[in-house]
Amino acid sequence: MQVSFNFYKYKQLLKEAFPQLGTVILSVVMARMDWILIGLFLAVTKLAEYSFAYKAFEVCTFPLLIIAPLLIPLFSKVFGDDLPDIEKLTKLKLLLSVELAIASFTSLVLVIVWVPIVDFITAGKYGNVNRNTIFILSLSIPFLYFNNFMWTINFSRSKLKLIFSIFVITFLVNLSGDLLMIPRFQNEGAAAACFLALLAQSVCFLRVTKIIGLEKLVYPLFICPICALASGFFSTYYFKDVSIVLISSVCIYLTSVIISLRIAVPQIRIFRSVLVS
């Protein structure tokens, strides 16, 4: 049987697939680049401490693994038309606000319970020593949710080259941050580089994603983490018992988020309709 090989068509296929392939490769590299550099620059104990904290950080993003696959068919319907429906875009903004509220809530709980629970489980090995590292990594969780939301929008609009260019910038920020901060600040430097890379990615997505009806997304992106930080600092300043700190901070956080984002009962009904529309 004679096999037909068309070099031009194969070249076109590779050219079209390259942005998505490059994005996947950069994502994989960034997921473990800080581990490799910590292993090169620091002692093996530091690598063990950071890998434990980072794995716990990844586990805390589990809700995103559930939400992310649901967004692709939903966004494909919304952005399938050249002019998306404004009402549906308003619902998506509310959906993003709820996602960011969940992400910031996860960060808040993770930071408060980290030291007592992890030190109890690991006999004092990985709790307090990773206190600052897990705090910095927890700041990244809302930006992970936001970037996934924006990635899905641009993927649904077939903006693959744009996504790839943003991931290149993210990779360069992460690599530069790791090289500069790991030798000086050790594990906290690696966590800070991860946070700065995700922050840079969010800024890039905000600058290039111009859709009428999806303006002012920066407000929920920053208001939810600020509410979480403020409630956590307030509770830890006035209380010492961990259970009281957790209860008070959660109550303050939920109250402040509901007020700031105005997620009232009528809007919750709109949010439920997003998943079925």
φ, ψ of residue 256 to 5 degrees: the values are -65, -35
Evaluate whether 181 touches 189 at the Cβ level (below 8 Å). Answer: yes
Cα separation, 141 vs 221, whole angstroms: 11
Q: Which pair of structure tokens corresponds to residue 3?
A: 């096999």
Percent of the chain predicted with pLDDT > 70? 88
pLDDT single digits (tens) 189-198: 999 999 999 9
- Kindly list the domain boundaries of the chain, sorted by start residue: 18-274
- Which of left, alpha, beta for 120 (phi over 0: left; psi -120 to 50: alpha)? alpha
Q: Which pair of structure tokens corresponds to residue 91?
A: 């619902």
Predicted structure pTM score: 0.88
Is 67 a residue whose pLDDT tops 90?
no
Cα separation, 80 vs 99, whole angstroms: 23
Average of per-residue pLDDT across 7-26: 77
Q: Which residue has the higher pLDDT, 148 or 80?
A: 148
Residue 6 is predicted with a pLDDT of: 66
pLDDT single digits (tens) 144-158: 999 999 999 999 888
Query: CA 101, 163, 77: angle at the middle one, nearest 5?
Result: 65
Q: Could you identify the residue written with the tokens 């939400």? A: 67
pLDDT grade for 274, boundaries at 50, 70 and 90: very low
Q: Which residue has the higher pLDDT, 68 or 143?
A: 143
Average of per-residue pLDDT across 97-107: 93
Residue 231 is predicted with a pLDDT of: 95
φ, ψ of residue 210 to 5 degrees: the values are -110, 100
Residue 264 is predicted with a pLDDT of: 41
Q: Which pair of structure tokens corresponds to residue 41?
A: 């620059």
Q: Which residue has the higher pLDDT, 31 or 111?
A: 111
- Which of left, alpha, beta for 217 (phi over 0: left; psi -120 to 50: alpha)? alpha
At 157, the amino acid letter reads R
Residue 268 is predicted with a pLDDT of: 47
pLDDT single digits (tens) 208-250: 988 877 777 888 889 999 999 999 999 999 998 999 999 999 9
pLDDT grade for 260, boundaries at 50, 70 and 90: confident
Cα separation, 129 vs 154, whole angstroms: 39
Q: Which of 122-131, 141-150, 262-271 has the lowest mean pLDDT?
A: 262-271
Mean pLDDT estimate for the chain: 87
Residue 9 is predicted with a pLDDT of: 67
Residue 169: closest CA among 129, 222, 208: 208
